Structure 1
């Protein structure tokens, strides 16, 4: 669950991250296919709302701030899988 109460879904083969609002059923694409985060495997949130994602295919860990800016923290972690903050 994200800081906004939505459920976040990492879609490895879809290469995107979506957020599901349980009260409305609306699904929003947070990180689209072809975007900065590639093949996300897992996500976690920091207290400030920063989304952290592992990218299993590229061996990366990326951070996406609340303004939507993404930066790669590491790109040398083969099969990066699972993350907690």
Structure 2
């Protein structure tokens, strides 16, 4: 669950991250296919709202801040899978 109460879904083969609002049923694409986060496998939020994601296909860990800016933290972690903050 994200800081906004939505459930976040990492879609490795869909190459995107979506957020599901359980109260409305609305699904929003948070990190779109073809965006900065490629093949996200897992995600976790920090207290400041930053979303950290592992990218299993390219061995990366990326961070997406609450303003939507993404940066690659590491790109040398083969088969990166799972993350906690």
The two structures have a TM-score, normalised by structure 2, of 1.00
- What SS class does the counterpart of residue 37 from structure 1 fall into? coil
RMSD: 0.2
SS in 1 for 2:24: coil
**Following TM superposition, by how much is the alpha carbon of 1:14 offset from its aligned partner in structure 2, in angstroms?**
0.1
Shift of 1:50: 0.1
Unaligned regions of 5+ residues in structure 1, if any? none
Provide the TM-score with structure 1 as the length reference: 1.00
Per-residue CA distance 1:17-70 (angstroms, 9 max, x = gap): 000000000000000000000000000000000000000000000000000000
Q: Which runs of 5+ in 2 are unaligned?
A: none
What are the residue-to-residue correspondences of 1:1-85 with 2, within 5 Å? 1-85=1-85
Distance 1:67 1:8 in 2: 16
Q: How many residues align?
A: 85
Shift of 1:10: 0.1
